[in-house]
Amino acid sequence: MNYAIVTVPAAPVRKLPNHRSEMSNQLLFGESVKIIRQKNEWYKIESLYDGYQGWLTHHMITLTDKSEITSSCHLLAPQFLTTIRINGQTMQIPLGASLPNLKNRKGTIAGKEYSFNGKPLRPDTISNKIEQLISNAMQWLNAPYQWGGKTVLGVDCSGFSQTMYKLVGMPIPRDAKQQALKGTLVKNLQQAQPGDLAFFNEDDKIVHVGILLGSNKIIHAAGKVRIDTIDKKGIVNVDSGKRTHNLKVIKRFI
Please count the other Cβ atoms lying within 10 Å of the Cβ belonging to residue 162: 29
pLDDT of residue 73: 78
pLDDT of residue 69: 84
pLDDT of residue 67: 84
Q: How far is CA 32 from CA 49, 128, 198, 225, in A?
A: 7, 28, 29, 28
pLDDT tens by residue, 147-194: 999 999 999 999 999 999 999 999 999 999 999 999 999 999 999 999
- Short-list 66, 86, 178, 168, CA closest to 123: 168
* Proportion of the chain above pLDDT 70, given as a percent: 100
CATH numbers and ranges of domains, the chain: 3-115 (2.30.30.40), 129-252 (3.90.1720.10)
First to last CA, the chain: 37
Cα–Cα–Cα angle for 211, 217, 220, nearest 5°?
Answer: 40
* Mean pLDDT value across residues 233-244: 97
- Dihedrals phi, psi of 247, to nearest 5 degrees: -70, 130
The CA distance from 20 to 74, in Å, is: 35
* Mean pLDDT value across residues 63-84: 90
Q: Is the pLDDT of residue 57 over 90?
A: yes
Amino acid of residue 29: F
- Short-list 26, 28, 25, CA closest to 6: 28
pLDDT tens by residue, 182-196: 999 999 999 999 999
Amino acid of residue 159: G
pLDDT of residue 68: 81
Cα–Cα–Cα angle for 222, 6, 1, nearest 5°?
Answer: 135
The CA distance from 170 to 99, in Å, is: 17
pLDDT of residue 64: 93
Beta strands 184-186; 150-151: pairing state: unpaired
DSSP secondary-structure letter at 185? Answer: E
